[in-house]
Amino acid sequence: MLIRGHGQNGGMRGPRSSTAPPAGLTVTRLAAIAAAALCCASGVAWAQKHSGGEKGSTLYKWVDEDGVTHFGDAVPAQYADREKQVLNSQGVQVGTIAGRPTAEEAARLAAEKAAEDNARTTQMHDRERNQHLLATYLSVGEIESLRDRRVEILDGQARVTQQYLAHLREHEHLLLVQVQRFKPYSTLANAGPMPDRVAEDIVRTESDIVNQERNLDGKRQEALSVKEQFDSDIERFRQLKKVESELNRSVAR
């Protein structure tokens, strides 16, 4: 069973009165207040009438698409997705049942949750990083020393790769000179066809050159990344030590 209340936007009209409204209240505001009060009174009266005073009775209050407030012990199916207020047998609100969000609202809520999750993850990573820096190093010099050793290892690997590349390019040059003796590169009448082993060697060498060039570029990028990470750690370590020093001075006062 349900009962219709007044719309949320008022719609209640009272008898005329020659008495002016109190200061600060317009007729429109008085009408709105009266409508809200009547709506509440309707809910309480309905609750008391239909609950029979039973403490366990559960009632609901919801608003339809026209802004009209309804009360009932069950919500019609067409309003099941709307937000509902739960009332006790005295018509007092004791809870709220959230409505199903629209597609736009669901997308907004999902984006907000993702942003909150990312913020929490970032905070957790920052906290772990701070703890690691303070637990691992005693000074900026230690971080710089480790950075230099890591970068030197990568630079050494890059130098080895460069030397191997130089060897491959020299071998490629010799192969290209060699193929000039064979057809179709040679103009000599008695020139023979290029041996398969030479052609395969050329293909293999050129493939090795491409791979090693990619490897060399990767080592250089890795060295830059390591240096940037260590430089960031150094700056963060300095900030943490500064805060720690200021806190110690504050406690000592």
At residue 60, the 3 state secondary structure works out as: strand
| Backbone dihedral angles phi then psi of residue 183, each to the nearest 5 degrees | -70, 145
Integer Cα distance of 216 and 118 in angstroms: 35
Above 60 in pLDDT, residue 19?
no
Integer Cα distance of 37 and 30 in angstroms: 10
Region of 67 (left: φ > 0; alpha: ψ -120 to 50; beta: rest) is left
User: Can you give the pLDDT at residue 67?
Assistant: 86
DSSP, res 93: E
Integer Cα distance of 228 and 234 in angstroms: 10
User: Can you give the pLDDT at residue 137?
Assistant: 95
Least confident piece of the model among 17-31, 74-88, 151-165, 237-251: 17-31
Q: CA 245, 250, 252, 253: dihedral to nearest 10 degrees?
A: 140
Residue 93 confidence class, pLDDT cut points 50, 70, 90: confident
CATH architecture label of 137-252: Orthogonal Bundle (1.10)
User: Can you give the pLDDT at residue 49?
Assistant: 52
Comparing C-alpha atoms, which of 62, 66, 87, 88 is closest to residue 75?
62
Comparing C-alpha atoms, which of 181, 164, 182 is closest to residue 172?
164
Helix (H) or strand (E) holding 69: strand 68-72
Q: 0.85 exceeded by the pTM?
A: no
Integer Cα distance of 246 and 203 in angstroms: 65
Least confident piece of the model among 20-29, 95-104, 189-198: 20-29
Mean pLDDT across 40-57: 51
Who has greater pLDDT, 222 or 97?
Answer: 222
Q: Domain locations in the chain? A: 2-100, 102-136, 137-252
Least confident piece of the model among 76-90, 115-129, 171-185: 76-90
